[in-house]
Amino acid sequence: MRGLRAGVIAGTATVAAMYLIAPPTGVRPLPDLLQEPVLGLLPGPVFGFLIDTLQHWGKILEEAGLVVSMIAALAVLGVVYGLTSRWLSASSASLATALVAWLGVVLVLLPLGGAGFLGLGAGPVTPLIWAALLVLYAGVLQLASWTPAPAVVRDPGRRRILRLVPLGIGALGLAYLGIRLVPGWYEGGVHPPEAGLAGPQPAVTPVRNFFVISKNFSDPVVDPRTWALTVGGLVDRPLRLTLEELTALPRRTQYATLACISNDVGGPLIATGLFAGVPLSDLLAGSQVQASAAHVVFRGRDDYMESLPLRDVLRAPDILVAYALNGNALPREHGFPARMLIPGHYGMKGPKWLDSIELRAGDVKGYWEGQGWDAQAIVRTTSRIDVPGNGSLLRAGRAFLVSGIAFAGTRGINRVEVSTDDGRSWQPAEVMPALSELTWSSWRYSWTPAHEGEHALVVRAVDGTGAVQSHQVAPSFPRGADGYHRIRVAVAH
């Protein structure tokens, strides 16, 4: 038990130190590195179910689980230390235990997380930094397992204080982890940006309420002074553009709606913004694409990759390397200094923190495609009731405005229909003009409930090609959610 207790204390202190040194050294904490391999172990349908069920909490629980797992693994090593210290001196046993941990990190965990052999892919000093962290672990492990003998420390009060020192170290580590991680978890799970909007949606989503989805526990911080976008591969004229050079090129400004492929039917992970950037087709024209190129591959600073067929890019001037949202530079969480904006597709197709664009003959699998999500990620036709809210109480005999949004990517919305009797009959709603052919359409329907009781309100949309929104209920995995949005309201006199 003494070894386990020492392992928990030392493990907590070491994991805290792992997060503490990350900003100044650039060495990513192990939970950051291991999140992708862990997700890769989940079967696609299971992963999709968790995304649909947990939404933002899924990533939070994964990070919390990995942090606890790191501490638990180091606690188990503490038990090993306790056993070996019966035959070795305390210092030898603790250093031997730390060596085992270091070998496990640099030979297994860092390569598994994509940092290369010994972690050298993340920088030549990475294995040394991990060695220092685990020497710290060895020191705290030895201190936490030491019991001052009366012959050495005669004052009982001093002995009690010395016993409390390791607990204090562990408590400090736990406190730091709490301060560093818990506020972000709370905000991300309880108060995500999109939760700030309720009722009728504004035509343009305020940046503070624009949904944020990222695969990362910690998103990249890009220095605009050193950042440059490269365009290379199968081109005759490779480009390297600084932010100043990129923003000096002829720009295109357009309203566009972004939706997340993991958005549930009627869900909030959809937003409309005014984006500004450089048409990708213009950049490719300037780089003189070779005849053998067939695919355009995008890579972000976080190694997120996606691709599009070259033919699709050349006929779509609305595909942008975007650097502004709603009149200002992209916020960090939305991909500063530049991101891909690919209308008609779910947001997963547009990498943020864009670093490179490469022309290739063959295609590559994007990050989410590797998890089993649809490679095309074309937006499904969807519609949503925003007013009244689910469970609202209305008055019989009074006119009430039912309203919401409908979106079908670049296909546009032809009409919207509303049912006030759970889909048995349908009435046309008034569809307001969209801001552009790339955005959602707002709709409204005046309804006067004639009798009291519970009513089920349902909405469906018809896209610009005449295709009716699918009524078949389907989860978001793998192509995006399908089905009609349905709410229930109570009507009373």
Tell me the pLDDT band of 156, cut-offs 50, 70 and 90. low
Strands (E), 196-337: 228-233, 239-242, 252-259, 270-279, 295-300, 305-309, 320-325, 328-329
Quote the pLDDT of residue 145. Answer: 80
pLDDT score of 198: 80
CATH of 382-492, one of 3.40.1190.20, 2.60.40.650, 3.90.550.10, 3.40.30.10: 2.60.40.650
Q: Are 260 and 213 in contact (CB under 8 A)?
A: yes
Confidence category of residue 148, pLDDT binned at 50, 70, 90: low
In this prediction, residues 420-434 reach a mean pLDDT of 96
Distance, CA of 139 to CA of 341 (rounded, Å):
50
What value does the mean pLDDT take over residues 262-273? Answer: 95
- pLDDT, residue 478, reads 92
The torsion region of residue 299 among left (phi > 0), alpha (psi -120 to 50) and beta comes to beta
**Alpha carbon distance 140, 328 (integer Å):** 48
Buried b or exposed e, range 400-409, using 16+ CB within 10 angstroms: bebbbbbbbb
Report in angstroms the alpha-carbon separations of 43 from 50, 59, 181, 246, 385.
11, 16, 28, 40, 33
The pLDDT score that the predictor gives to residue 152 is 45
**Alpha carbon separation from 82 to 11, 53, 97, 98, 169 (Å, rounded):** 14, 42, 10, 13, 19
* Domain layout of the chain by residue ranges: 2-190, 207-370, 382-492
Q: Mean of the pLDDT values across residues 123-135?
A: 92
Lowest mean pLDDT among 1-5, 137-141, 190-194: 1-5
pLDDT at 38 over 70: yes
Pairing assessment for the beta strands 441-447 and 430-431 based on DSSP bridges: antiparallel
pLDDT score, position 58: 84
Arithmetic mean of pLDDT, 44-52 = 73
- The stretch 40-54 carries a mean pLDDT of 74
Distance CA 490, CA 493 (A): 10
Residue 162: predicted pLDDT: 52
Q: Which of 99-113, 158-172, 395-409 has the lowest mean pLDDT?
A: 158-172
Q: Mean pLDDT across the chain, nearest whole number?
A: 91
Q: Which fold does the domain 207-370 belong to in CATH?
A: Sulfite Oxidase; Chain A, domain 2 (3.90.420)
Mean of pLDDT values over 248-277: 96
Give the mean model confidence (pLDDT) for residues 366-371.
Answer: 88
pLDDT surpassing 80 at residue 490: yes
Edge-to-edge strand list for the sheet holding 354-360: 239-242, 228-233, 354-360, 295-300, 305-309
pLDDT bin (cut points 50, 70, 90) of residue 361 is very high
Distant-in-sequence, close-in-space partners of 382: CB < 8 Å, separation ≥ 6: 259, 263, 265, 270, 406, 407, 408, 461, 469, 481, 485
* Burial (0-12, 13-18, 19+ Cβ within 10 Å), 373: buried
CA distance 245 to 229: 10
Tell me: pLDDT of 153 over 60.
no
Residue 401 reports pLDDT greater than 90? yes
CA–CA gap between residue 44 and residue 369 (Å, rounded): 10
Closest CA to 348 of 477, 230, 441: 477
Q: Tell me what the mean pLDDT of segment 169-197 comes to.
A: 90
> What's the pLDDT at 381?
98
Residues 19 and 389: their CA atoms lie apart, in Å, by 42
User: DSSP letter at 449?
Assistant: -
